[in-house]
Amino acid sequence: MSIERVGIVGGGQMGGGIAEVCVKAGVDTIIVEINDDLVARSKAGIEKSLGRAVDRGKLDADAREVALSLLTFSTDRESLADRDLIIEAIIENEDLKHDIFRDLDRIVTSPDAILATNTSSIPVTRIAQATSRPESVVGMHFFNPATIMPLVEIIRTVVVSDDSVDRAAAFASDRLGKTVVHAKDRAGFIVNKLLCPYIFESIRMYEEGFATREDIDAAMVNGAGYPMGPLTLSDLIGNDTMLAVAESLMSEYENPRFAAPPLLKRMVEAGLLGRKSGRGFYDYT
Ligand SMILES: NC(=O)c1ccc[n+]([C@@H]2O[C@H](COP(=O)([O-])OP(=O)(O)OC[C@H]3O[C@@H](n4cnc5c(N)ncnc54)[C@H](O)[C@@H]3O)[C@@H](O)[C@H]2O)c1
């Protein structure tokens, strides 16, 4: 069964970006958000991003109109009933994700539909167990910004069917043009298991006064060839997401290199979430 209708739960940074990638690839896509204000915010973000793509000559104006015509929004999860693939992209909270999957299991009618999560670090097997069809639940981990970053990690649980994995991977590569890698269902998968200890160590360096935030970032850009420094990256990912990922990694591996630095905790408690809140390690206002 080919994937023609996609549903995205959560139209924030990731869900909005994934939806944009889908509609640009000609896929009918619905985003479900919590309320009308969040729908409006998600819609405005995607329209702005598509407008920027037109201004930069990466998309023609007709293609933008076609993309927008394929995108709808809803505050009602029931609108996802006819979808072939759902990608859940709500905040990194395991209990909430379980609630969503329990509900999707009830709502989505096709037994062939794939229920995917974009979680950064929560074991997909546990999310799958919230449904009566764990063989249809896959991890599809896109990267931020989803419109630019080519990678999608496909996460295989111990109970998923080969068919679900193969169809999710083929959709990401053949339809969306992404680069697919496969990983087992271990917290953090490939990228975040490697990336997070590095970001946490940079926060500890900053916290200890080892170097300024600018110098830590400049060092890794100019000395290691990274496109942005680790503190800028943490602000881009979202410091709240980084903290949630640290908690998942710690509970899985019980290794202090995955522990959240106290400064990260204090910043999240103070609402310094990074770019999305206007302030994090840097000020974006
Ligand atoms: N930020 C990153 O760099 C990144 C990268 C890869 C994966 N992820 C993962 O993607 C997911 C989303 O992260 P994000 O950065 O987009 O977060 P975000 O805070 O930007 O967006 C989350 C969105 O989910 C919505 N939401 C929350 N509960 C909902 C519900 N019950 N129904 C519908 N919508 C709901 C919120 O309103 C918000 O718009 C997380 O699991 C995160 O770990 C994040």
Residues belonging to the chain: 285
Residue 145 lies in a domain: yes
pLDDT confidence of residue 145: 95
Q: How far is the CA of 199 from the centre of ligand 1 (A)?
A: 20
In a domain, 283, yes or no: no
Q: Is residue 282 part of a domain?
A: no
| Final residue of a structural domain among 184, 217, 243 | 184
In a domain, 117, yes or no: yes
3-class state of residue 279 by DSSP: strand
Q: Are residues 196 and 180 in the same domain?
A: no
Place 201 in a pLDDT band, splitting at 50, 70 and 90.
very high
Residues 148 and 238 in one domain: no
Identify the pLDDT of residue 1. Answer: 76
Q: 61 and 47 in contact (C-beta within 8 Å)? A: no
pLDDT average, residue stretch 184-192: 95
Q: CB–CB of 109/81 below 8 Å?
A: yes
- C-alpha 117/C-alpha 125 separation (Å) is 11
What's the whole-number mean pLDDT along residues 42-48? 98
Residue with tokens 């490697």: 194
Most distant CA atoms of the chain, gap in Å? 56
* Residues labelled catalytic: 120, 141, 153, 192
- pLDDT at residue 117, rounded to an integer: 98
Last residue within a domain, chosen from 184, 212, 235: 184
pLDDT of residue 82: 98
Pick from 159, 184, 209: which residue ends a domain?
Answer: 184
Task: Kindly state whether residues 71 and 134 are assigned to the same domain.
Answer: yes
- Residue 208's domain is classified under what CATH number? 1.10.1040.10
Ligand 1 neighbourhood includes 90 CB (under 6 angstroms):
yes
In this structure, what DSSP letter does residue 28 have?
E
Q: Are 106 and 14 members of one domain? A: yes
- 147 and 60 part of one domain: yes
Question: Considering the entire predicted model, what is its pTM?
Answer: 0.94
Task: Tell whether ligand 1 has an atom less than 6 A from the beta carbon of residue 273.
Answer: no
Residues 160 and 205 occupy one common structural domain: no
**Residue 74, CB-side half-sphere exposure with 13 Å CA sphere:** 14
Residue 57 lies in a domain: yes
Gap between the terminal Cα atoms of the chain:
47
The mean pLDDT value for 143-158 works out to 97
Residue 123 belongs to a domain: yes
Within 10 angstroms of residue 69's Cβ, the number of other Cβ atoms is 10
**∠ at Cα 273 (230, 279), nearest 5°?**
85
Q: Which two structure tokens, joined as six digits, stand for 205? A: 């360096």
- The per-residue DSSP string of 231-277 comes to HHHHHHH-HHHHHHHHHHHHHHH--GGGSPPHHHHHHHHTT--BGGG
| Residue 186 in tokens | 């271990």
**Are residue 83 and residue 150 in the same domain, yes or no?**
yes
The total number of structural domains that make up the chain: 2
Rounded to the nearest angstrom, the distance between the alpha carbon of 190 and the centre of ligand 1 is: 20
Local confidence band at 28 (pLDDT 50, 70, 90 cut-offs): very high
Mean pLDDT of 34-40: 98
Share of the chain above pLDDT 90, in %: 98
What is the CA angle 39-43-48, rounded to 5?
150
For the stretch 222-262, pLDDT in tens is 999 999 999 999 999 999 999 999 999 999 999 999 999 99
What does the pLDDT average to over 255-279?
Answer: 97
Indicate whether residue 11 lines ligand 1 (CB < 6 A). Answer: yes
Collapsed DSSP state (helix, strand, coil) of residue 7: strand
Q: Measured from the CA of 238, which atom of ligand 1 is nearest?
A: 1
Which residue's structure tokens are 């496969």? 182
| Domain carrying residue 219 | 192-277
Question: 161: which DSSP letter?
Answer: -
**Mean pLDDT in residue range 203-218:** 98
Same domain assignment for residues 227 and 208: yes
Asked if the model's pLDDT at residue 158 lies above 90, the reply is yes
Please give the structure tokens belonging to residue 237. 């990912």
Whole-angstrom distance, CA of residue 115 vs CA of residue 136 = 6
Binned at pLDDT 50, 70 and 90, residue 163 comes out as very high
Same domain, 22 and 157: yes
The pLDDT of 204-215, averaged and rounded, is 98
Instruction: Output the pLDDT for position 121.
Output: 86
Same domain, residue pair 114 and 210:
no
Q: Are residues 167 and 239 in the same domain?
A: no
CA 23 to centroid of ligand 1, rounded, Å: 19
- Regarding the beta carbon of 15 and ligand 1, being less than 6 Å apart is answered yes
Pair 238, 221 in one domain:
yes
* 285 lies in some domain: no
What phi and psi, each to the nearest 5 degrees, are found at residue 152?
-130, 120
CATH code of the domain containing 85: 3.40.50.720
CA-to-CA separations, 84 to 7, 26, 33, 156, 161, in angstroms, rounded:
8, 14, 19, 19, 16
pLDDT over threshold 90, residue 268 = yes
* Predicted local distance difference test score (pLDDT) of residue 142: 98
21 closest CA partner among 163, 236, 184, 179: 179
Under 8 Å between Cβ of 217 and 230: yes
